[in-house]
Chain A
Amino acid sequence: AQTVTQSQPEMSVQEAETVTLSCTYDTSESNYYLFWYKQPPSRQMILVIRQEAYKQQNATENRFSVNFQKAAKSFSLKISDSQLGDTAMYFCAFMKHSGGGADGLTFGKGTHLIIQP
């Protein structure tokens, strides 16, 4: 079984600052995917960024980037130039590669990020 740990229940930063959310995971799988999902106060969960474990290069999506350290089983999310709209719950999630079938996501407990004006 997999576990995902987010050690920061809540973080608060000023608008335009850079913030890093931490995530560690434990698995015996060699082939898997990692995700960061965002859940704004409206509650619709949306994907922020994803990383395939076989890729060495860290994923980047505009102001969002990850620091993927496979050996350390660490997957942190960096948000640059933070904006008020980034205020949300952020969940780190793990999914093993099931080779053509289906598998659910294993989520961390979430980090509540508050961007202050």
Chain B
Amino acid sequence: DVKVTQSSRYLVKRTGEKVFLECVQDMDHENMFWYRQDPGLGLRLIYFSYDVKMKEKGDIPEGYSVSREKKERFSLILESASTNQTSMYLCASSFVPTYIYNEQFFGPGTRLTVL
């Protein structure tokens, strides 16, 4: 079974702190993604990566950065956390999409609260 794990289920931080959210996958997937989930808004793509040290901006990258030093690990960084970044953060991974393999596998999510 594919497993995508996230370092914390719940996290509470203060405004202005630097926050790291970690994601690890064990299926040798090339692609990894960070989404943000807010009630009434669904999930929105923050950043994704298609290879080690490669990254692409998603729909809402402002206030975030990412790091992918190893294939299995993808980190989301909030350089200076703000209250409007309080949200559920979901990591996902996948193979390079083909007509057969195109599913993204999700982690359990990290509920981040910024006070």
Contact = CB atoms under 8 A, between A and B. Distances in A.
Interface residues of B, number: 30
Interface stretch (A11-19, A65-73, A75-83, A94-102): A94-102
Interface of B: 30-31, 33, 35, 40-45, 48-50, 56, 58-59, 88, 90, 92, 94, 96-97, 99, 102-104, 106-109
Place the interface of chain A in its size category: 20 to 34
A102 B96 CA distance: 6
B8 to A, nearest CB: 13
Interface of A: 4, 6, 9, 33, 35, 37, 42-47, 50, 52, 54, 91, 95, 97-98, 100-110
A110 B35 CA distance: 15
A54 B33 CA distance: 25
Contacts of B45: 104-106
A25 to B, nearest CB: 13
B58 A104 contact: yes
A35 B50 CA distance: 21
A102 B50 contact: yes
A20 B103 CA distance: 22
B97 A44 contact: no
A39 B115 CA distance: 27
Contacts of B94: 102
